[in-house]
Amino acid sequence: MAVARQFARHLAPVVDLIYPPRCPSCGVAVAAQAGLCTDCWSTLEVPEHPEVPGQAVPVYAATYYNETSRQLVLAYKHGGRIALAALLARLIAGRMPEPEPGRPPPLLVPVPLHRWRLWSRGFNQAALLSQQLQKQGKGEAAVASLVRFRRTPNLGGLGREARERVLTGAIRLAPGAAARIKGRDVVLVDDVLTSGATSRACLAAIAAAGPSSIAVACFARVEEDHKLAHP
């Protein structure tokens, strides 16, 4: 691992020469790859409290979903900028509590993608965040704990009840996951928390296994009464 880090440091100037670092939100030149410019840093909005109306579990959100965080998510998830996973995870980790000494570390369970979505995108953005959060010392990545058995349509534009109907029975525990989850603290990880329908489906599957506690960690949190540039 130390050799790999050393190689990456030596390779970084070459990468910067071929691909000059630019802010993934606005595109202005920056000092390092996967870094934000000062102006974009200043526009990220941090939630004051982890509690979310309608959610029965704490939610550790790095930011509210505004224009800057939206551009980061688009660059990461749809623009193939997977190196942003480290940046987004660092911001999420800053909102999460430290694991309790003497207890097993929390399991970091990503929201799953259907296999066809995973094949077309090439990666599960939530799984990469889970792995990066593990590197940040926030728990143990358990990337294969949940399975999306049924392909679901894009939930954008659907009301809460319609989202719930679409997701009913779509997400389940993977074989063997229940035994691993039982009695453990679990943190569900995703990039964006919108209506909470997907997270509720995941949390219901996790709760059936008897965890000690459940929480949600995400990069950006959408709130209806929060003023957004582009909701």
Average pLDDT, the chain: 81
* Cβ pair 204, 178 in contact under 8 A: no
| pLDDT over 90 percentage in the chain | 47
Q: Which residue has the higher pLDDT, 116 or 1?
A: 116
Residue 72: CB partners within 8 Å, gap ≥ 6? 24, 25, 36, 84, 87, 88, 219, 220
Predicted pLDDT at 105: 96
- Say what the alpha-carbon torsion angle 117, 118, 120, 121 is, to the nearest 10 degrees: 110
Q: Is the model's pLDDT at 27 over the cut of 50?
A: yes
**Which pLDDT belongs to residue 158?**
55
Pairing label, strands 171-173, 146-148: antiparallel
Of 23-37, 87-101, 133-147, 169-183, minimum mean pLDDT range: 23-37
Could you tell me the pLDDT band of residue 229, with boundaries at 50, 70 and 90?
very low
Residues sharing a CB contact under 8 Å with residue 50, sequence separation 6 or more, in sequence order: 58, 59, 60, 61, 95
Q: Kindly tell me the burial class for residue 65, based on how many C-beta atoms sit within 10 Å of its own C-beta (0-12, 13-18, 19 or more).
A: buried
Q: Note the pLDDT tens digit of each residue in 154-169.
A: 655 555 665 666 666 6
One-letter amino acid for residue 206 of the chain: I
Amino acid at 129: L
> pLDDT tens, 1-14?
444 444 344 334 33
Output the pLDDT for position 33: 54
**Pick the residue with more confidence: 81 or 60?**
60
What is 44-221's CATH number? 3.40.50
The pLDDT value recorded for residue 224 is 62
Residue 145 per-residue DSSP state: S
Which residue ranges does the chain devote to CATH 3.40.50?
44-221
Non-local CB neighbours of 177 within 8 Å, separated by 6+ positions: 142, 144, 145, 146, 209
In the chain, the percentage of residues whose pLDDT exceeds 70 is 75
Q: Rounded to an integer, what distance in angstroms lies between the CA atom of residue 30 and that of residue 118?
A: 31
Task: Return the pLDDT at 4.
Answer: 42
The mean pLDDT of 112-127, rounded to a whole number, is: 85
What is the distance, to the nearest Å, from the Cα of residue 17 to the centroid of all Cα atoms in its chain? 30
Indicate if the pLDDT at residue 183 is higher than 90. Answer: yes
CA distance 167 to 171: 7
